[in-house]
Amino acid sequence: MILLSGPNIGGNEWKYIKDCLDTGWVSSVGAYVTQFEQMVAEFAGARFGVATSSGTTALHMALLLEEVQADDYVIVPNVTFVASVNSIRYVGARPILMDIDPLTWQMDLDLLADFLAEKTELRDGECCHRADGRRVRAIMPVHVLGNMADMERLMGLAAQYHLRVIEDATESLGSYFKGKHSGTFSRMGCFSFNGNKIITTGGGGMIVTDDEALARKAKHLTTQAKADSFEYYHDEVGYNYRLVNTSAAMGVAQMEQLPGFIERKHAIAAIYKEGLSGVGDIGFQEVAPEVEPNWWLFTIHTERQREVLERLNAHQMQSRPFWVPMNQLPMYREFPYIQTADHSDRVYRTALSIPCSTNITDSELEQIIGKIRECY
Ligand SMILES: Cc1ncc(COP(=O)(O)O)c(C=O)c1O
């Protein structure tokens, strides 16, 4: 099977994990955790990194730290992996599902601007939904597939309407908007190191921030809010959301290889674009000139999505449809979905992700291109 986006373990992973096993530092503290936090933060251009057990727990933590409360609204794109929206529900808040731009597949900022202008108003300095008076607390942009929306515009809208921003940067390690790394536009950005991401720790995540107090608080809350180094004294409800040292050791080894992984993702995208341009109705996710994506998960669109999917999977070339839009999932149907043309549904019905692991060979890419061409 040629994997969709599998791990590439070719560096010092064995060595560093063995070091953990040899020294007994296998649990939630250890030098690799600190080193991994520093490496990711430095790579992204943030001052601090706080490692977490997953991208989902990083998002949950960031929502808690932004004091998003039960019944607040949080605006999130309707096309994302379900974990973004789930994290909003973990704090009892309510998602407002915003449709996506049909070309870039990121949150549609025209729609967002119209929604904020028409449906919300400031009451005592807080953005409230006109219809039901609930507070709109935050926007959670998701850098879908490693692409990015116009983050300057989004941050401007957030400032104008007094909204917090929590970046779901889980897919975008190595992506930039106007040279600034994803996850560093808002006070906190969240990354994931799940097995299919550009680097992996097996499972894991991280919050990056420039704010020392927030970093401290994140560390505290992810460590059961233990407030004394000796006694079991906890000063609030905390969480066991830490990343373990063995995972962080893997993360350090992966970070050492990240520049090469990004380069390979770019090369894979270029090979696919060349090989598939002009083939039937195949098109690609568009990228704005200000964005340098990491090309995390290469995704095409075509009316013959199902046929291509079936053919590739039948030939052991692992391919996946896009996420079912959030407004179509049973637990999110009741929440507001803001749209004028339901681009989410269209993208869902036409997009498919094709194999693009960083260790895929050029010859495998040619075979995949050949199989896709056969469909047309
Ligand atoms: C957009 C998005 N948000 C959140 C997550 C959650 O990350 P994790 O799987 O590390 O919990 C993922 C990835 O899995 C994701 O792709």
Pocket around ligand 1 at a 6 A CB cut-off: 54-56, 80-81, 83-84, 142, 168, 170-171, 192, 194, 205
Distance from residue 368's CA to the centre of ligand 1 (Å): 26
Distance from residue 374's CA to the centre of ligand 1 (Å): 33
Per the listing, tokens 């040899």 go with 22
CA distances (Å), 183 to each of 176, 283, 352, in order? 9, 28, 26
Sheet holding 299-301, edge to edge: 283-284, 299-301, 351-353, 320-321
Q: What is the pLDDT of residue 136?
A: 98
Q: What is the pLDDT of residue 257?
A: 98
Three-state SS at 343: helix
63 pLDDT band, cuts 50/70/90, is very high
249 pLDDT band, cuts 50/70/90, is very high
Report pLDDT digits (tens) over 224-239: 999 999 999 999 999 9
CA distances (Å), 258 to each of 87, 109, 233, 254, 287, in order? 27, 31, 39, 6, 21
Report pLDDT digits (tens) over 43-55: 999 999 999 999 9
Average pLDDT over residues 267-278: 98
Locate the domains of the chain by residue range. 13-255, 257-374
Q: What is the pLDDT of residue 292?
A: 98
Report pLDDT digits (tens) over 178-212: 999 999 999 999 999 999 999 999 999 999 999 99
Per the listing, tokens 């996710």 go with 285
- Domain 13-255 of CATH type 3.40.640.10: yes
Q: Exposed, middle or buried by CB within 10 Å (0-12, 13-18, 19+), for 202? A: middle
121 pLDDT band, cuts 50/70/90, is very high
- The residue among 160, 166, 200 whose CA lies nearest residue 183 is 166
For the chain, give the mean pLDDT: 98
Residue pair 308/337 in contact by the 8 Å Cβ criterion: no
CA distances (Å), 171 to each of 145, 267, 275, 339, 370, in order? 6, 18, 25, 24, 28
Average pLDDT over residues 239-264: 98
325 pLDDT band, cuts 50/70/90, is very high
Distance from residue 194's CA to the centre of ligand 1 (Å): 7
DSSP 144-208: GGG----HHHHHHHHHHTT-EEEEE-TT-TT-EETTEETT-SSSEEEEE--TTSSS--SS-EEEE
Q: What is the pLDDT of residue 258?
A: 98
Distance from residue 178's CA to the centre of ligand 1 (Å): 24
- CATH number of this structure's domain 257-374, picked from the four choices 3.90.226.10, 3.90.1150.10, 3.40.50.970, 3.40.50.2000: 3.90.1150.10
Q: Which atom of ligand 1 is nearest to the CA of 204?
A: 10
Average pLDDT over residues 338-352: 98
284 pLDDT band, cuts 50/70/90, is very high
Q: What is the pLDDT of residue 131?
A: 95
Q: What is the pLDDT of residue 332?
A: 98
Q: Would the pTM count as exceeding 0.75?
A: yes
290 pLDDT band, cuts 50/70/90, is very high
Ligand 1 pocket: which of 54, 56, 107, 193 to mutate (most atoms <8 Å of CB)?
Answer: 56
Residue pair 51/37 in contact by the 8 Å Cβ criterion: yes
Q: What is the pLDDT of residue 211?
A: 98
Report pLDDT digits (tens) over 124-175: 999 999 999 999 999 999 999 999 999 999 999 999 999 999 999 999 999 9
287 pLDDT band, cuts 50/70/90, is very high
Helix count (H) and strand count (E) of the chain? 11, 17
Ligand 1 pocket: which of 81, 88, 188, 239 to mutate (most atoms <8 Å of CB)?
Answer: 81
